[in-house]
Structure 1
Amino acid sequence: MGLKWSAIDLIHRTITIKHTVTTGSLNGKYITIEKDRTKNKPSRRTLPLVDTFYDLLIRLKQRQDINQRQFKESYCRDYLDYIYVDELGDRIKPNYISQNFNLTLKKLRMPHIRFHDLRHSCASLLLSKGVSMKEVQEWLGHSDYSTTANIYSHLEYSTKIASADKMSEVIKI
């Protein structure tokens, strides 16, 4: 939700996670909180921008430019640097994604999971493809390697089998 165009380097094809948008309560009122910092230092990270997302971002930027021209004065100019805005330029509320994620799962007759659980799916898929635990930690932005290892070490069993096979080749008695 906090992703800004300034965090995207289209030339070097990187994306930097450095700004957050969340919700909270202040004096009993529901508010949106913007921060030019992340939860912790490792959460601020620069990642490669894969082709699929590069193409998506190009299309989003083009769509925003078209909407600005089409809606003229009606287009909200308060959030021009944000990527995730609606057709009139208003920033999408943070809870919108999680609410609509549940509706999408129901519509597709998929089992219920929390939106945040997609991080676990991402880590699981990366580990199953042989990505190291250290690299997974960096992608997820965990502040400590042990956090990642404690949560996902059970998923590394296939890599243990592969390393056992390599050890077996070396030992050959």
Structure 2
Amino acid sequence: YDEHELEKLFQIVRGDPIELGVILAAFYGLRRSEVVGLKWDAIDFKKKTITIRHTVTQVTLNGKSTIIEKDRTKTKSSYRTLPLVPPFEELLHRLKLQQEQNRKLCGKSYNTEAEGYIYVNEIGELVKPGYITQHFPLILEKYGLRKIRFHDLRHSCASLLYANGVSLKEIQEWLGHSDISTTSNIYTHLDFNSKVASANAIMGVYPTVVHD
């Protein structure tokens, strides 16, 4: 997605359960497992940082869907600390307030198994990775937005960083790639897009050939 599409997406997901996932993937470039695995203790409101260090994945074992929680990221490089920006901080405060209100409303029926996780539903259950995968395309279809995969928001994040002059090395660190070749391989098309833009700029001053 380009910045205009992302702007529209941010507007339509506000207040929707998918909002947290969309912002974490599109702005911070988080993987789905990192989005679901984010805990409150990863947020430092004083230092204004967010640390990616825990993941939640969903696998099928013997025909049963199982949630796997890990106190480690995909690779060593995936463990990273990013700045906590004001709009995201505002969302977190909003979610924290909602969780406290839901806990009071539900009383003893509030689920405490996902204690400490940010991405929980109204009754305290952890939002599963599969929910994000299923719900995201439905939102896009409902509002007539171009169909992309949830993981593509991570690519949109890289595209915006690149377009704003951020180096591949810095993008690698932001996204948590272990190898810069991964970053450059995925985003080689960005280099080509910039060349197309350069070609179009040259075309603007290129003399028009007049045929008899």
TM-score (norm 2): 0.72
1:9 aligned partner: 44
Moved over 4 A (4+): none
Contact 1:127 1:156 in 2 (8 A): no
Code of the residue aligned with 1:87 in structure 2: it is: E
TM superposition shift of 1:31: 0.7
Q: Name the counterpart of 1:113.
A: 148
Aligned partners of 2:61, 2:114: CA distance in 1, in Å?
22
> Structure with the greater relative contact order (CA < 8 A, sep ≥ 6): 1 or 2?
2
Partner of 1:79: 114
Structure 2 matches for 1:24-173, cutoff 5 A? 24-156=59-191, 158=194
Counterparts of 1:67 and 1:36, CA distance in 2: 27
Unaligned ranges ≥5, structure 1: 162-173
Stretches of structure 2 that go unaligned for 5 or more consecutive residues are: 1-35, 199-212
Q: Distance in 1 between matches of 2:146 and 2:112?
A: 39
Q: Partners in 2 of 1:30 and 1:88 — Cα distance? A: 20
What is the TM-score with the length of structure 1 in the denominator? 0.88
Instruction: Tell me how large the CA RMSD over aligned residues is.
Output: 1.7
**Alpha-carbon distance in structure 2 between the residues aligned to 1:68 and 1:28:** 33
Contact 1:128-1:156 within 8 A present in 2 as well: no
Residue type matched to 1:93 in 2? K
